[in-house]
């Protein structure tokens, strides 16, 4: 579904990514873990098109997307969330989520100015789809008219997931979806992620520091350290890997 091949990325002398290769299999949850500064977010930015890799390819459904701009990748069905919430703060929850449907809508400027007719029909269809498929699903119907700034952190994270879901993505990339959340909120979010996988069959790529959650929900894990891929495999394989233990805990004395 999403295939990374020998990805290299550097900022000046800093080699952020050195030869990352893995594949996110259709309908599965793939986790990317690693200590701080390992290159997880750089990897995400390279996949979503913000960084241009020095070398290597990104394939989406077998198609080479390495040279596409972020908005073109979004049109293909690649959605993501950000580590520091990147919602539109001047808008309501509903409008934020509606923006997820942007690429599916066809209204042009002229139709938008008149509204009645095609634009209205499309807007109402979008509204219905969002209400039934996203807002109801994520249990955020009570806050749909709230401005983003009024929401607590955990809910903002959920709204950002909602915005990504509104895109009806084929691949969903989540950058630390439970960072800074308490145990209850983490459990909620983990349940939502599993529900997304189960109900929509979405392929999910996940960066996360919460090891319990990663080990619980991922079927495949890639471990990065200092820009290098030090291990990959099932949760059981990875957690027994000596390199991984060393990267996280340091070498045994």
Q: Which residues bind another protein (CB under 8 A)?
A: 48-50, 69-72, 74-75, 79-80, 82, 86-91, 95, 98-100, 102-103, 105, 107-109, 111-115, 119-120, 122-124, 127-128, 131, 163, 167
Please report, to the nearest 10 degrees, the dihedral formed by the alpha carbons of residues 153, 82, 2, 225 taken in order: -100
Give the shortest CB-217-to-another protein separation in angstroms.
Answer: 23
Nearer to another protein (CB atom), residue 99 or residue 179: 99
Give the shortest CB-110-to-another protein separation in angstroms.
Answer: 10
Give the shortest CB-84-to-another protein separation in angstroms.
Answer: 11
Give the shortest CB-154-to-another protein separation in angstroms.
Answer: 19
Nearer to another protein (CB atom), residue 77 or residue 220: 77
Q: Where are the beta strands (DSSP E) in 146-185?
A: 171-175
Tokens standing for residue 244:
């991984």
Nearer to another protein (CB atom), residue 105 or residue 194: 105
Nearer to another protein (CB atom), residue 2 or residue 231: 2
Q: Residue 43 in contact with residue 8, Cβ under 8 Å? A: no
Separation of alpha carbons 30 and 205, rounded Å: 5
Phi, psi of 226 (to 5 degrees): 50, 45
| Measured CA distances, 135 to 49, 118, 162, 171 (Å) | 28, 24, 7, 20
């Amino acid at each position: 579904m999403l295939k990374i091949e020998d990805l290299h990325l550097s900022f000046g002398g800093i080699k952020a990514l050195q030869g990352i290769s893995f594949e996110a299999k259709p309908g599965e949850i793939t986790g990317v873990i690693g200590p701080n500064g390992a290159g997880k977010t750089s990897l995400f930015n390279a996949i979503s098109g913000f960084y241009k890799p020095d070398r290597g390819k990104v394939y989406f459904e077998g198609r080479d997307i390495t040279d596409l701009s972020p908005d073109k990748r979004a049109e293909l069905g690649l959605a993501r969330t950000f580590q520091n919430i990147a919602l539109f703060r001047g808008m309501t929850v509903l409008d934020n989520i509606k923006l997820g449907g942007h690429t599916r809508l066809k209204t042009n400027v002229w139709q938008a100015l008149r509204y009645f007719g095609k634009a209205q029909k499309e807007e109402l269809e979008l509204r219905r789809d969002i209400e039934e498929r996203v807002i109801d699903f994520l249990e955020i119907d009570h806050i749909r008219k709230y401005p983003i700034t009024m929401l607590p952190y955990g809910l903002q994270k959920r709204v950002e997931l909602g915005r990504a879901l509104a895109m009806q993505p084929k691949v969903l990339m989540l950058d630390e979806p439970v960072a800074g959340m308490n145990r209850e909120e983490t459990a909620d979010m983990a349940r939502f992620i599993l529900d997304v996988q189960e109900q929509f069959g979405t392929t999910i790529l996940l960066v996360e520091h919460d090891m319990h959650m990663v080990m619980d929900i991922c079927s495949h894990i890639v471990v990065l350290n200092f820009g290098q891929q030090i291990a990959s495999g099932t949760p059981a394989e990875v957690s027994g890997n000596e390199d991984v233990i060393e990267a996280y805990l340091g070498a045994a004395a």
